[in-house]
Chains A and B, each alone.
Chain A
Amino acid sequence: MALVELRNVSKIYHLGGEEIRALDDVSLDIEAGEFISIIGPSGSGKSTLMHILGCLDTPTKGTIQIDGTMIQDATARQLAGIRNRKIGFVFQFFNLLPKLNVLQNVELPMVYGGLSARARRDRAMRALQMVDLENRSKHRPMQLSGGQQQRVAIARALVNDPKIVFADEPTGNLDSHTGEVILELLRKLSQEGRTIALVTHDPEIAAVTPRRIEIRDGKISRHIDPKLAGQPRVEPVGVSV
């Protein structure tokens, strides 16, 4: 059984009486340990897909299973719990809390997880070591460079040892060199066995991942998977893989 199983998922919005299918009958599996990218231009539905995969949103139709739990009908409280324990987010704008220092930012998911202060500190320091920022633990986010902030955000995403990490345009707000460093860090984490999903509009960035899914108009338009015969090929629209 795959880590994430998406089956015939649709997300439909109603905007002024008009029906918008942000996701249209998408099926997708992500295995544990995979490094996968979700590519698509803006408005393609890739963000909606990430939100549903990341338990920030629930589908209108279809089923989704993450780590053995069906979540399409979960309550807001259950979703918050799953986000807290099984999912890590890395955002384009870093989304660190400016009033907290680096260590406190990294500790934040564990605060909601209910860990003791001591355990929180130890684990947060270990996560900061992973991104090489343990000596900046008392700094405020504003005192760090963009790349450092993003590394703090990665540490925060990893600190609860999630099953899967979603990185939404993690290089979008960085210069190309710093972006490279961040991508390199993600690749390293993937090699250590982490499951990482990279969401981007840029095919060049998506190229770092072996498996790539292209979204267009709410559907999977292209699927590149080295495991499937090793050749890139075009998938028929809407067929599950």
Chain B
Amino acid sequence: MNLLNSIIVGVKEIWSHKFRSLLTMLGIILGVSSLVAMSALVKGMENGMKEALIAMGGLDKVLLEDQQVPPYQEQLSDQAVGRTIDDVHALERSAPLIRLVSPEMALRGATVSRAGKSVTPSELVGVWPAVLDMNLHVLQYGRFFTPLDEERASSVCVIGAGIRDELFGSPEETGREIVPLGQILNINGQPFTIVGMFEHYESERDRKEREWAKAHPQEKTNTGPARMRGWGRRGGWAFWRKNLTVYIPLNTMWVRFRSAAGAANIPDPHLTDIDLKVASLDQLEPALQQARNVLMLTHHGIEDFAFQTQENNVENINSAIHNARMSGGIIAAIGLIVGGIGIMNIMLASITERIREIGIRKAIGATFRDMFLQILVESVVIAILGGAAGLLASLGAVHVLQMIAPTENTPIITLPACVLAFASSVGIGVLAGLIPAFKAAKLDPIQALRYE
């Protein structure tokens, strides 16, 4: 008997026990759909984590930090120059593996105020336009700094949407988007003109929460004075921080806020940060080596600097994803195995009930192989149908997950997960069918024909 016939016979057998076959498939359906839905959830989670990583400037961003002079150079520590704009120029000229250099001069503890309202920005930094690419900022309104702003040390600033929310009111509160271009705000008492504003950064989850809140306006049941309920912002720390940014031109920062710390009538030229972007992630190590060589020259051989990459963050994300995948995968695998045991159980019951049929088939010429294939095909067909139904069910399951938790990251069904789930259901069908098929095929026809 050829394979096609076996398949037809198997399908007919399954069709003649529709309800029983459906129950048998249920295990596989649940196993496959939980495997696919689990992997979709983890994928959504992974996307959320990667979003935060990108909000912090992306994977290819490297921080150049100050460092204690190493012990063997301790006698030179008073000659250490620290990070200055010279380093930035030298890197731009001589380190081609570094794509982007962004100097930053920060003012800590600054207060930004306007019309009686004040806010402490997450960072108040003097920057070059390179910072846009470095920190992946998107300028939604106005302009960024021109060379002229830098040259003249103009009192202009570009703010994050969070600063606007605090000083002018957020769209949620005022019901409209306020664009404060041309307005004046005070930074530590000095007036600055707002020339640009970034877009509002938020994670997918926050966006969905916001939209959901908009679509489901809640009546205010709270009484008492208006207040923040709970400290800090739940989740989305990286986004919150990014929204509370205030940028001013680097030179402005230098001449206006660094005079107190300078020497010989020159404001303190030290940069608080030099951020680098490497040309390609594959070349991370050679690029860092190149940058180090350049900096060793500008620092007269004194190693008072160090690099900090996002590799650790990536590793953390990867290990968190790995763990989630492992635990979910194990649970789904147990589901599939239970489904497989269900198939085996039903197949064993089914051949016991069909011993006479097997005897008849063998008496009229079915070989071991014919019977083995017939039972195995039945089991595999059940598993395939169950697997296919499971894939459909997983679509529904993901939908349900989204309805239960509309503000979470969207689960994303991936093709590899579907292929894996389907393939393992077929594999389990084969494994579950082996023992029943073997038992059926090796039945003695005489005994089987006598069986009542």
Contact = CB atoms under 8 A, between A and B. Distances in A.
Interface of A: 51, 54, 56-57, 76-77, 80-81, 83-85, 89, 91, 95-97, 99, 108-109, 111-114, 156, 160
A77 B369 CA distance: 8
Interface string B180-200: 000000000000000000000
Contact of B365 (A85, A96, A97, A99): A85
B16 A99 contact: yes
Interface in B1-54: 1-2, 5, 12-13, 16
- Chain A CB count within 10 A is highest, among B361, B369, B445, B446, for B445
B364 A89 contact: yes
A112 B12 CA distance: 17
The 4 nearest A-B residue pairs measured at CB: A84-B365, A112-B365, A80-B367, A109-B364
Nearest to A94: B360
Interface string B353-371: 0001101111111111110
A76 B367 contact: yes
Nearest to A82: B365
20 contacts: A56-B363, A56-B446, A80-B362, A80-B366, A80-B368, A81-B365, A83-B364, A83-B365, A85-B365, A89-B363, A89-B364, A95-B359, A97-B360, A97-B361, A99-B16, A108-B361, A111-B1, A111-B5, A112-B367, A114-B2
Nearest to A159: B364
Contacts of A57: 446
Contacts of A85: 365
B321 interface: no
Nearest to A160: B365
B449 interface: yes
B368 A112 contact: no
A114 B365 CA distance: 11
A114 B2 CA distance: 7
Contacts of B363: 54, 56, 83, 89, 95
Contacts of B357: 97
A76 B368 contact: yes
A99 B12 contact: yes
Contacts of A80: 362, 365-368, 370
B359 to A, nearest CB: 8
A187 B446 CA distance: 27
Contacts of A51: 446
Given A80-B368, A89-B364, 15 more contacts: A56-B363, A57-B446, A77-B369, A80-B366, A80-B367, A80-B370, A84-B364, A95-B356, A95-B360, A99-B12, A112-B366, A112-B367, A113-B365, A114-B1, A114-B2
A96 B1 CA distance: 19
Nearest to B445: A56
A95 B365 contact: no
Nearest to A168: B449
Interface string B395-435: 00000000000000000000000000000000000000000
Nearest to B360: A95
B446 A112 contact: no
Nearest to B364: A109
Contacts of B13: 99
Contacts of B359: 95
Contacts of A76: 367-368
Contacts of A99: 12-13, 16
Contacts of A84: 364-365
A95 B362 CA distance: 12
Contacts of A91: 449
B61 to A, nearest CB: 68
Nearest to A54: B363
Contacts of B362: 80
Contacts of B366: 80, 112
A109 B16 CA distance: 22
Contacts of A54: 363
A109 B365 contact: yes
Nearest to A156: B364
B43 to A, nearest CB: 45
Nearest to A166: B363
B78 to A, nearest CB: 94
B409 to A, nearest CB: 50
Nearest to B363: A89
- Chain A CB count within 10 A is highest, among B13, B16, B449, for B449
Nearest to B359: A95
B322 to A, nearest CB: 50
Nearest to B4: A117
Contacts of B16: 99
B368 A77 contact: yes
Nearest to A80: B367
- Chain A CB count within 10 A is highest, among B5, B366, B369, for B366
- Chain B CB count within 10 A is highest, among A81, A96, A109, for A109
Contacts of B446: 51, 56-57
A77 B372 CA distance: 13
Nearest to A113: B365
A96 B363 CA distance: 12
Contacts of A156: 364
A80 B366 CA distance: 6
A158 B445 CA distance: 20
A54 B446 CA distance: 11
A156 to B, nearest CB: 7
